[in-house]
Amino acid sequence: MPAPAQVSLPSDREVRVTRQFNAPSQLVYDAHTKPELMRKWLGYTGWDMPVCDMDLRVGGKYKWQWKNQEDGKQFGFYGVFTEVNAPSRLAHDQYYDPGDVGSSMPVDDPCNVGLDLSEQNGVTTLVCTMRFASKEARDGAVATGMTDGMEFSYTRMDELFKQQAA
């Protein structure tokens, strides 16, 4: 069982998530870039991911959208790839689309998301660094979670954890 994810705030403008996976980096990279694989893990309990468009090349665009299973509300992220270097690095400028969920998350300035994968002895270390335009933007994003509308899905997540622990 891999060690749990770690979150750090390496600078005023950044949030970093680190995690290890018992798989080669190419497989972890595929899971982050192939829509049919992304849909299976990336998201939120109680939300489907009807849109996952990936034009995987530098300058290529992507669009992810989630839809709530109960009330049908949607939100998403979209952006442009700035670095595409399989299987070790992927970077993109990411914009938040509040959809009809709404949020105080910044919508104007992009967040640069850098995904670094390094493999050693079949274990891949993932370092995902999100660099925001300003400290205010980062704090806004961190403060609201992924979105305000997701507060309740955290509750469900907690329930899920409890079920798993039981």
14 to 11, 60, 140, 142, 161: CA distances (angstroms): 5, 24, 12, 10, 28
Q: Which is nearer to other proteins, 100 or 151 (CB)?
A: 151
Q: Which is nearer to other proteins, 59 or 153 (CB)?
A: 153
DSSP string over 79-105: EEEEEEETTTEEEEEEEEE-TTT--SS
Q: List residues binding other proteins (CB under 8 A).
A: 2, 4-7, 9, 15, 17, 19, 21-23, 27-28, 30-31, 37, 40-45, 104, 135-136, 139-140, 142-146, 154, 157, 160-161
* Minimum CB distance to other proteins, residue 54 (Å): 17
What's the half-sphere exposure (Cβ side, CA atoms, 13 Å) at 83?
A: 12
What whole-number distance in Å separates Cα of residue 135 and Cα of residue 66? 27
Collapsing DSSP to helix, strand or coil, 2 comes out as: coil
Q: Which is nearer to other proteins, 26 or 82 (CB)?
A: 26
Q: Which is nearer to other proteins, 93 or 139 (CB)?
A: 139
* Minimum CB distance to other proteins, residue 8 (Å): 9
Q: Which is nearer to other proteins, 44 or 78 (CB)?
A: 44
* Minimum CB distance to other proteins, residue 162 (Å): 12
What whole-number distance in Å separates Cα of residue 53 and Cα of residue 63? 5
* Minimum CB distance to other proteins, residue 80 (Å): 23
Residue pair 88/25 in contact (Cβ under 8 Å)? The answer is: yes
User: Between β-strands 61-68 and 74-85, what pairing exists: parallel, antiparallel or unpaired?
Assistant: antiparallel
* Minimum CB distance to other proteins, residue 66 (Å): 12
